[in-house]
A and B are shown apart, each in its own frame.
Chain A
Amino acid sequence: MNTDLSVAHIDPPSSWPAIGLRELWDYRELLYFLTWRDIKVRYKQTVLGAAWAVIQPLFMMLVFSLFFGRLAGVPSDGIPYPVFTFCGLLPWQLFAHSLTQASNSLVGSQNLITKVYFPRLVVPISAVLGGVVDFAVAFILLLGMLLYYGIVPGWQIVALPGLMLLAVMAALAVGLWLSALNVQYRDVRYTISFLVQFWLFATPVAYPTSIVPEKWRVVYGLNPMVGVVDGFRWALLGKPDSPVVSILTSAIVVVLLLTCGLYYFRRLEQQFADIV
């Protein structure tokens, strides 16, 4: 009767653990429930509820429009500055929010990690997925703005889901590194907000890529969010020059970061319960 039972082998930590995607797939329901919990709980006992998903990028857009657009006269490639910057803020918020959540996710799930077994990758992945809902809410506002300014996206809009995925993957790639590091070194917690702020200014959210000097473009392009933000503007605002090179560079950087991040995470994972 018991011959067909699966056998779990328990061994000391190995230095090159497998990524374990199959096991992750087995735990997809847990992934779903944790994401669902995060979304469900996030705006509980808040007066404004899901409106917070809109308020944050909205106010940043207003501040940017006032200081960068109006006062500093930052160019916006011939597009009305508010739409221009909001179009960059959306993927940026998705990235920044997901990254922050993912980085703190393991430490925040201590009680789970020390009491139950499941593939630990579920924790940062569900944190990243939680950011997508906020994005969707804010996206509705963007559609309203496009309507207001009379901008009609062209066929390029089909690239949007791919670009979104790229932003989420970028957040996960960096988030994996930071969440695992955070378990061991709590310094990471204090570094994240600083890192995100710095990263915002290294990404063409408040200004167009065109003002970056030509000779720095290659280095600049290594920031995976450059391709994502440029791609968003191209897909939604219908700018003629396609940022294919930029997007491809981003994709390669993300894949590299993600692969290393996965290995690093899996390696450290074996000690999480002991050191968290």
Chain B
Amino acid sequence: MSNLAIRCEGLSKRYRIGGYTDHYKVLRDVISDVAAAPFRRLKSASRNGNSNGIENSYIWALDDVSFEITAGEVVGIIGRNGSGKTTLLKILSRITKPTRGHAEIHGRVGSLLEVGTGFHPELSGRENIFLNGAILGMRKSEIERKFDEIVAFAEVEKFIDTPVKRYSSGMYVRLAFGVAAHMETEVLLVDEVLAVGDAQFQKKCFEKMREIGSHGRTILFVSHNMSAVRSICKEAVILERGKLVAQGEIDRTVDQYLSRMSLSQSFEQAIETNTFSVTSVEVSSVSGAVVKTFDPVQVRVQFVPKSEIRDPGLYVSFLTMDSRRLTGLDLKDFVTSAPLPAGEPAELGFTIESLPLMPGTYQVEIHLKDMARHLIEFVPQTFQFEVAETEVYGGRKLDGWFGNVGLRAQPLENISRKDA
């Protein structure tokens, strides 16, 4: 029998929506509810006892989720907002109870749903380390043993006896993550908490997570940051509207998730210009299901000419979502194409050896031409495509600050690598 760390069987969680829109009830509501109850029954009876109303005011945040995770596995939980990721973590960390189903966890569980839970602004860094550690379930002796390591990790040695309300937000987050990262539980549940702090600190957190994972501990890691998930996890679980839709090897599962997410690239109705009828525009990876930075890609434009095109031309430009033109390709710089007869489907396009675009959404703009007639026609619609999130340069998520263009780069030879 292999070592099982987590087993879930039919976990479901139902939440009430509407009704009590406030977070809490006021006694008056209950009294008025009770008073109104007989009338409500009367009313529903007159409507042929329609009982749908009850089901409608509930939502299944988690719906019959079953999976098993072996000890030492680092698993990413991915899914859109509201797909039940946090609910799953809350149930596994015993903060809330499932409505149905059963789960078992082997070993001590540490959960990190938020950085700095229970930090008190008036207390010093030192005091907060002990308080927060105790809240996270660490023993005093364990905190004492790890104290210096935590302080060093957070880089707050000088301010350790200052109340944390005087800390910069960066220091605060570093200290809070530092405490949590030094928990010694067999199972660690981590929600989207690494999205805080500056880039350098994020990288440090990822490295810490990877280190924890390599020590044979089981980690469940929720994130929207696909590059982080790919670099930390070995396996992933996809949740969609409370249901588990896939579980498997990390890269394949993330790609599957992203291709589910990506916008559909073909369109129902042809787009008309004076001389052309455009039926499909596609940007696809030659090597995989989704387009990734530095992938070889193909751009294919399919159309039907309405009259004979003697010297066909195509201009493709790549734009950011805010319509900044990044780069473009003109077919006439490469070849002279053969004439295209009227009324027959045709295809023009490019193969791009390595797409230098950073992860994100982009648009393609198309011009079709007939050089013989000096005809340049603009296709009055752009076509979106997604460059999937991958670790472009190491693990961290690259934000807008890095721009849109990816560079294939290496550090100079004489600089020693930090993690070598």
Residues of A within 8 A of B (CB): 1-2, 5-13, 27, 29-30, 32-34, 37, 40-41, 44-45, 111-118, 183-187, 270-271, 273-276
Contacts and interface: CB of A to CB of B under 8 A. Distances in A.
B123 A37 contact: yes
Given A8-B94, A117-B93, A2 B118 contact: no
Interface stretch (B133-141, B299-307, B371-379): B133-141
A275 B109 CA distance: 24
B127 interface: yes
B98 interface: yes
A116 B118 contact: yes
A270 B90 CA distance: 12
A150 to B, nearest CB: 43
Interface string B4-43: 0100000000010000000111111010000000000000
B26 A115 contact: no
A232 to B, nearest CB: 34
Contacts of B360: none
10 contacts: A1-B3, A7-B106, A8-B105, A12-B101, A30-B135, A33-B134, A114-B95, A117-B94, A184-B24, A186-B24
Given A29-B134, A29-B140, A184-B25, A8 B95 contact: no
Interface string B96-120: 1111111111111101011001101
Contact of B104 (A10, A34, A37): A10
Contact of A9 (B104, B114, B127): B104
Nearest to A31: B134
Contacts of A113: 95
A202 B120 CA distance: 38
B122 A274 contact: no
A192 to B, nearest CB: 14
A7 B360 CA distance: 42
A183 B23 CA distance: 10
Nearest to B30: A185
A116 B117 contact: yes
A2 B134 contact: no
Given A116-B95, A187-B27, A273-B90, A12 B111 contact: no
B98 A11 contact: yes
